[in-house]
Amino acid sequence: MSGRIDAVLGMQWGDEGKGRIVDWYARDYDVVARFGGGDNAGHRIEVGEKKLALRLVPSAALHPTVELFVGSGCVVNLEGALDELARLAEVGVDISRVKFSDRAHIVLPDHGAIDQASERARGAEKIGTTGRGIGPAYADRVSRLGITLGETIDERHFRNRLRAVRSAHERAFPNAEILPDFAEMEERMLAAAARLRAAIVDGVGYMHARLAAGKRILAEGAQGTLLDISFGSYPYVTSSQCTAGGICTGLGVGPSAIGRVIGILKAYTTRVGSGPFPSELLDAEGDRLREAGREFGTVTGRARRCGWFDAVAARYAAALNGAHAVALTKLDVLSGFDRIGIVTGYRLGDREATLSEAAHPDFGVEVEYLDGWTEDIREARRSSELPVTARRYIARLESLVGLPIELFSVGPEREALIRA
């Protein structure tokens, strides 16, 4: 019984268009499972009149029969999850299909407050987090202090655990005025946990029952490879595993269960928050990418930093994920550029450099330019309908990344896709 779980995940700094690509692949699956992250994610999907911004619920919500699973590697804001479920129910989504692993950890109001206070304390060195408490929640998990969803089910136990967590936070942050009022938080958390209870399942049993039944499962990545806690541009990363390795640890399955891995790459690069960005454009071309690509965050509304496609970073990400193929998004955004750049090398003096060295003052990049195209390609549905320069761009990316591009998107709508 091997290779039953395929995966779709981001191979840049997030916001590659995972939501819409997962929505497309999901038609061939019975279950779509998130394996990491929390509501720091924002995944937009457009199907006809319906436009969704999903944070925690897997991006197959608009497929009526697909089961939606929030796996053990995720962190769950109880009230945020309830709000998201309510919003989905309002647009007619059957939310009884959404289940949460009992091993996922909860994100408390404490965590949001600590996240924001730590960012303030870092000043100019701030990470630029989403401020949703994701880092502190994962930190509590690693410190063996955090509370799992399973622990919210017994009210007395949950109350005791909330008190223990608060005491530890007060010890760690003696200026505890940053923390929200405890009695109010406790009541809010108990009320939210009671409402979420019916959706909490034995996460390991859930996955393995479906594997044994031969269900087709798609693992959905959040964030992106370059934000991965181990292999991203540390410390300017998120606090979870975003790479394919996170599928095993985040869903509780062995590597033999993993089948195809599809890596998503945007046709250029964006990043939100601080940290190195070798292909960043701080000029009019960058502004133009931001405007044409509507690069403003789904969660925080922040303007995303923009730059050319970075083939060095993409090759690194492809290797880390063992990706089999690529889905390329937002090709339409490049229409109208006279020339399109691709970063093909990192240099430090006269030697090749790595992403980890990007903060070095002598770090530089090599850029190759290809001719652009003027045609509007948003209506194209076959490769043959694309201008020859667009096809050359795609072929060049395939050769630089070393993977086939099996799908590319030319607009945000579900059908604005071309299969290679």
Q: For residues 36 and 150, which CB has a smaller minimum distance to ligand IMO in the complex? A: 36
11 to 40: interface string for Mg ion, x by CB under 5 A: ----x-------------------------
Find the shortest distance in angstroms from Cβ 359 to ligand IMO: 15
Nearest to 324 by CA among 2, 97, 1, 11: 11
Distance between first and last Cα of the chain: 30
Tally of residues, the chain: 420
Q: How far is the CB of 240 from ligand IMO (least distance, A)?
A: 8
The closest of 35, 73, 40 to 54, measured between CA atoms, is 40
Binding site for ligand GDP (CB under 6 A): 10, 14-20, 42-44, 46, 298, 329-330, 332-333, 409-412, 416
Catalytic site residue 15?
A: yes
User: In whole angstroms, how close is the CB of 14 to ligand IMO at the nearest point?
Assistant: 2
Catalytic hit among 23, 39, 43, 140: 43
Q: How far is the CB of 37 from ligand GDP (least distance, A)?
A: 10
| Residue ranges in contact with ligand IMO by CB under 6 A | 10, 13-15, 40-43, 127-130, 132, 134-135, 222-224, 227, 238-239, 272-273
Q: Which does 17 bind (CB under 5 to 8 A by kind): ligand GDP, Mg ion, ligand IMO, none?
A: ligand GDP
Indicate the residue among 93 and 272 with the shorter CB distance to Mg ion. 272
Q: ∠ at Cα 270 (269, 275), nearest 5°?
A: 110
User: Residue 162 in contact with residue 146, Cβ under 8 Å?
Assistant: no
Report how far residue 333's alpha carbon sits from residue 304's, in angstroms, rounded to the nearest whole number: 15
Could you confirm whether 43 is annotated as catalytic? yes
Give the active site residue among 6, 15, 39, 310.
15
Of the two residues 44 and 132, which places its CB atom closer to ligand GDP in the complex?
A: 44
Q: Which is nearer to Mg ion, 42 or 150 (CB)?
A: 42
* Cis peptide bond upstream of 412, omega within 30: no
In the bound state with Mg ion, the residue whose beta carbon lies nearer, of 296 and 369, is: 296
Task: Please report, as residue ranges, which positions from 297 to 316 form the binding site for Mg ion (by CB under 5 A).
Answer: 298
Gap between the Cα atoms of 386 and 80, Å rounded: 42
Applying CB under 5 A, among 36, 37, 38, 42 the residue interacting with Mg ion is 42
The answer to whether residues 296 and 47 touch, using CB atoms and an 8 Å cutoff, is: no
Dihedral sign, CA of 131, 102, 56, 3? Answer: positive
Number of residues in contact with Mg ion under rule CB under 5 A: 3
Residue number, 116 or 389, with CB nearest to ligand IMO = 116
Q: Is-contact 265 401, C-beta < 8 A?
A: yes
329 binds, among Mg ion, ligand GDP, ligand IMO, none (CB under 5 to 8 A by kind): ligand GDP
Question: What is the 3-class SS of 173-239, one letter each residue?
Answer: CCCHHHCCCHHHHHHHHHHHHHHHHHHEECHHHHHHHHHHCCCCEEEECCCCHHHCCCCCCCCCCCC
Place of tokens 């044409």: 292
Rounded to whole angstroms, the Cα distance separating 228 from 225 reads 5
Report, in Å, the least distance between residue 27 CB and ligand IMO: 21
Compute the least distance from the CB of residue 206 to ligand IMO, in Å: 22
Q: Which does 409 bind (CB under 5 to 8 A by kind): Mg ion, ligand IMO, ligand GDP, none?
A: ligand GDP
CA–CA dist 329, 193 (Å, integer) = 38
Residue 218 near residue 32, CB atoms below 8 Å: yes
State the residues that interact with Mg ion by CB under 5 A.
Answer: 15, 42, 298
Active-site residue numbers? 15, 43
